Structure 1
Amino acid sequence: MASLLGRPARAARERMSSLVAAPAPGRVDDMLRALSRRWPVRELCAAPPGSGLRPVLGDYGPPLVGHVLHSSRFGTDFARERHDRIGPVSWIGAFGTRIVNVSGPEATQVVFINRDKAFSQEGWAFLIDRFFHRGLMLLDFDEHHTHRLIMQQAFTRDRLAGYVRQFGPTVRSAVPTWRVDGPVRLYWALKGLTLDVATKVFMALDRAPEADRINRAFVATVRAATALVRHPLPGTRWRAGVRGRRLLESYFAGGLAGRQAGHGDDLFTALCHASTPEGERFTGRDVVNHMIFLMMAAHDTSTIASTAAAYYLARYPEWQERAREESLALGEDVPDIAALDRLRTLDLVIRESLRLVAPVPSVMRKTVKATDVLGYYLPAGTLVAAQPSVNHFDPGCWTRPDAFDPERFADHRREDRNHRYAWVPFGGGAHKCIGMHFGVLEVKAILHEMLRCYRWSVAERYRVRWDHTSLPVPVDGLPVRLVPR
């Protein structure tokens, strides 16, 4: 317990000062200490006699709900406190079961590399299969490898260049319309824009009642994945998610024949025609499942990344001005992929923002056989949550890890190279995000247009607080003031 009251306690104060809105000094630290003391630490299960392995320690938390509410409130800080106190492998209770948390670069590497194929994607199925059934992230081993090879044909450099040409005009026309007569809840403005980009690039739909209906269905499915009530009772998020999934299946199934016969530049058409050199292709059912998953993955993560980057640019106006200078140097044309690649300052800012606010802070797995992580015994059937966002604050990899410092990614420093799994906002191993380059290009395009149109700021004492109920979302929508240039 002494370690909890020493270095981790000081670290908690530092990190919460930058990530939580207006807490009283030490208040959040006191909350985390109180949570840590309330439930006794015990073994998940005994290690096999003579194995030399250690049991995983942890606690369930409050009856029934476990640590779900604590994780939702404190997010990465909750995971960091447990890493500091219990170690890189510990367990918690959540959603009526036990989940092993794995954190730190070394432990994360074991799970992501998965040399003995002990970790399957069934961990994701536990949370989201009802809504994102057989999406690429939920497939395993040989089947995942085949589907990924096919899908890569939709994310080649030429395809990405085409997507940039499609969404560039959408972004340019939307950003100047934001209100300037009062604070803007920037998260919601960005979410609407990224949904428009996704429906335009993925489905060749312009803003219309049909697009609005599809977007609402996606929002419902994402929110349902972490619902506490996991049955379709009236008025619940789960039921809304079930209905959203049905609508999406009906929409994409209805559009299959036209896309299979067409030759458009949208992702839906690309998936219908993608194939490996050996001629392997997706079935119509595969295309529907992958489209539903990709639409979710694309717009949610891009919204979070662009929101976080815009927040830090608001708090650190010297970085905003530096990035604006590069954007203005591109001229008046809507930037193509080569022009976006030249925005080096935005590269640094986006990488640092992804470090501080990982859009997907936890990555789920399930053991299909008994295994170990750094000498801790995990029996078959164990749900595992790798916590790569904890790695983003490892003092062994990062200098002043709680500070906003984009220069840490510059060529003369490259702190992200201190360990292969020090910086993993896109996951790692065989399941590394297939759309990460698309996502970064989209975020850069949005920030570029914001820099051309506005200067923006937050209140002097304002600090964003993130809600981690599903993926990180600013609890107040991130109010910013936009001033036209």
Structure 2
Amino acid sequence: MGTLQGGIVTIRDRVPPLTSIPLPKAVDRRLLGKRYPVRELASPPPGSGLKPVLGDAGAPLLGHSLDSMRFGVDFALHRYETYGPVSWMGSLGTKIVVLAGPEATQIALVNKDKVYSQAGWRFFIERFFHRGLMLLDFEEHHLHRRIMQEAFTRDKLATYAREFGPTLRAGIAEWGGQDRPRLYWALKRLTLDVATRVFMGMPSGPGAAKINRAFVDSVRAATAIVRVPVPGGRWAAGLSGRKVLERYFAENLPAKRNSPGDDLFSALCHATGDDGERFSDDDVINHMIFLMMAAHDTTTITSTAAAYHLAKHPEWQERAREESLALGDEPPGLAELDRLKTLDLVIKESLRLTAPVPSLPRKALRDTEVLGYHIPAGTLVSVSPNTNHFSPEHWSNPRSFDPERFAEGRREDKSHRYAWMPFGGGAHKCIGLHFGMFEVKAVLHEMLRAHRWSVPSSYRMRWDYVSLPVPVDGLPVHLAALDRGSQKSHE
């Protein structure tokens, strides 16, 4: 941990660190040497035996917002090494307690005493994803989740897979004329196309492009530094995007109510709970806006991360390709996707190295404690999956790409229930995790069938954490069509 000198934390003169997590030298140099006064978040109640949470406010007004956005996982690891599993920092004009490491994470996400509310999410995204499933609490959340589960059964997932398979194949085939596409943006367009078709039953075209733009604006607004609707700012764009989405779903909802279809929009309109409960029109609109965001953003990030690692490790790309070619030429269903074991390993390792949602915010409803530290009522709390995913106590060589760590016989992800948590945990674990895994598999499967892709050996992708992770340069790759004769020899 950093040493304290007159109330100032001096990272450069630190004692042996709490963890053995190494930071890249370039990042380390830029983070080291910054000095901020270390303060207690709040005094523990007299006689409680609890310790105060220590931390620092960071830069005036901005706190550590820009550090977090710029350095992402390295910043999270740096804070953990400096302060330990429970600390606080200034960010976006407020104070946030950060819980890092599997033990602290488990306390917040299991939430057995119902101390932690989803109001933490509401601080960031309420204006843009009002009453989405992730923003609901306790009994109301349980009821809505139980109804929504009907839209994510294995049979429903099989129906969605039949829809997204041909869409993915056609979209990836269109990449053939590009030598060095920015892969993130190509995947973003593709997953938005899948989301509009499979989730909304909406064909591609100008209307879909407008809807897609509204989703992008709404997501990016959540971490705006200026959180008022200044014209031209991200906050204003997000509010405008939300209105576009509300209007679209409200206009199309009556037809979905009257004519059941195979898309998610229709499924939510007709979903019924065990006691006959159904979603109101407002419920359907709110859930669709949230699910559309969650579906395409996390899928794009995970597909991009996995594609990057397959480009950097061609032996894994060829191993995965051999399994994909062995499936034959028909778009795969769920059973076929289940057989792609190499992609399972690659995707899980990619999710470990780049958690699509790097922070899970909560709010303490009353005074509580975590690992002996006092957290007062009303405190914003953030769980940090990134720190867990790089813990040397739970992962061997955590910065290396090693998909075999998830293979039977090793299963490093079983070292702790919350060592690997890309989908969150507890009652709010992602309801669409199986859909997401199948879609990412299908995306990579179609890429493997159609193309080989590579990056220079010296290339290292850097993530921008302004909202959810985005590659700074869009991930330019060299793309080459796969020889059809090579394909046929495997089929």
Among 146, 150, 161, the alignment partner of 1:164 is: 161
Check conservation: 1:4, 1:84, Cα contact below 8 A.
no
- Give the Cα separation in 1 of the matches to 2:20 and 2:111: 34
Q: What SS is found at the alignment partner of 1:39?
A: strand
Deviates more, 1:130-139 or 1:26-35: 26-35
Question: What displacement does 1:179 show?
Answer: 4.6
- Give the Cα separation in 1 of the matches to 2:139 and 2:190: 36
Among 191, 216, 221, the alignment partner of 1:219 is: 216
Partner of 2:7: none
Question: What displacement does 1:183 show?
Answer: 1.3
Check conservation: 2:21, 2:392, Cα contact below 8 A.
no
Indicate whether 1:409 and 2:406 are aligned.
yes
Partner of 2:6: none
Change (3 A) 1:143 1:86: same
Q: What SS is found at the alignment partner of 2:381?
A: strand
Q: What SS is found at the alignment partner of 1:176?
A: helix
For structure 1, which runs of at least 5 residues remain unmatched after alignment?
A: 17-25
Structure 1 segment 469-480 matched on structure 2, within 5 A:
469-480=466-477
- CA deviation map 1:34-69 (0-9, x unaligned): 23xx10221111111100111000001000000000
Partner of 2:33: 34
Indicate whether 1:114 and 2:111 are aligned.
yes
Structure 1 segment 87-166 matched on structure 2, within 5 A:
87-166=84-163
Partner of 2:311: 314
Partner of 2:22: 12
Question: What displacement does 1:182 show?
Answer: 2.9
Kindly tell me the number of residue pairs found equivalent between the two proteins: 472
Question: What displacement does 1:12 show?
Answer: 3.3
Q: What SS is found at the alignment partner of 1:365?
A: strand
Q: What SS is found at the alignment partner of 2:477?
A: strand
- Give the Cα separation in 1 of the matches to 2:445 and 2:58: 44
Structure 1 segment 134-283 matched on structure 2, within 5 A:
134-283=131-280
Among 424, 427, 435, the alignment partner of 1:427 is: 424
- Give the Cα separation in 2 of the matches to 1:5 and 1:166: 56
- Give the Cα separation in 2 of the matches to 1:4 and 1:436: 40
Partner of 1:76: 73
Indicate whether 1:365 and 2:375 are aligned.
no
| Paired amino acid for 1:12 | P
- Give the Cα separation in 2 of the matches to 1:181 and 1:279: 51
Change (3 A) 1:391 1:282: same
Change (3 A) 1:394 1:171: same
Question: What displacement does 1:219 show?
Answer: 0.5
Question: What displacement does 1:180 show?
Answer: 4.7
RMSD: 1.3
Indicate whether 1:397 and 2:407 are aligned.
no
- Give the Cα separation in 2 of the matches to 1:201 and 1:147: 21
Among 462, 469, 479, the alignment partner of 1:482 is: 479
Indicate whether 1:65 and 2:75 are aligned.
no
- CA deviation map 1:131-166 (0-9, x unaligned): 000000000000000000000000000000000000
Question: What displacement does 1:334 show?
Answer: 0.6
Check conservation: 1:180, 1:482, Cα contact below 8 A.
no
Change (3 A) 1:4 1:297: farther
- CA deviation map 1:295-348 (0-9, x unaligned): 000000000000000000000000000000000000001111110011000000
| Paired amino acid for 2:297 | D
Ranges of 4+ aligned residues in structure 1 off by more than 6 Å: none
Q: What SS is found at the alignment partner of 2:302?
A: helix
| Paired amino acid for 2:33 | A
Check conservation: 1:315, 1:457, Cα contact below 8 A.
yes
| Paired amino acid for 1:458 | V
- Give the Cα separation in 2 of the matches to 1:397 and 1:436: 23
- Give the Cα separation in 2 of the matches to 1:469 and 1:432: 23
Q: What SS is found at the alignment partner of 2:452?
A: strand
Check conservation: 1:222, 1:241, Cα contact below 8 A.
yes
- Give the Cα separation in 2 of the matches to 1:8 and 1:46: 24
- CA deviation map 1:82-107 (0-9, x unaligned): 11111100001011110000010000
Q: What SS is found at the alignment partner of 1:116?
A: coil
Check conservation: 1:327, 1:343, Cα contact below 8 A.
yes
TM-score (norm 2): 0.94
Q: What SS is found at the alignment partner of 1:184?
A: coil
Check conservation: 2:27, 2:74, Cα contact below 8 A.
no
Question: What displacement does 1:115 show?
Answer: 1.0
Check conservation: 2:21, 2:81, Cα contact below 8 A.
no
Check conservation: 2:228, 2:236, Cα contact below 8 A.
yes
Q: What SS is found at the alignment partner of 2:395?
A: coil
- Give the Cα separation in 2 of the matches to 1:468 and 1:178: 27
Q: What SS is found at the alignment partner of 2:33?
A: helix
- Give the Cα separation in 2 of the matches to 1:408 and 1:4: 32
Structure 1 segment 286-305 matched on structure 2, within 5 A:
286-305=283-302
Check conservation: 1:12, 1:77, Cα contact below 8 A.
no
- Give the Cα separation in 2 of the matches to 1:145 and 1:377: 29
- Give the Cα separation in 2 of the matches to 1:257 and 1:409: 46
Identity of aligned residues (%): 63
For structure 2, which runs of at least 5 residues remain unmatched after alignment?
A: 4-12, 483-491
Check conservation: 2:39, 2:55, Cα contact below 8 A.
yes
Partner of 2:488: none
Question: What displacement does 1:8 show?
Answer: 7.6
- Give the Cα separation in 2 of the matches to 1:360 and 1:368: 23
Q: What SS is found at the alignment partner of 2:309?
A: helix
TM-score (norm 1): 0.96
- Give the Cα separation in 1 of the matches to 2:477 and 2:390: 27
Partner of 1:462: 459
| Paired amino acid for 1:261 | N
Change (3 A) 1:382 1:7: closer
| Paired amino acid for 2:73 | T
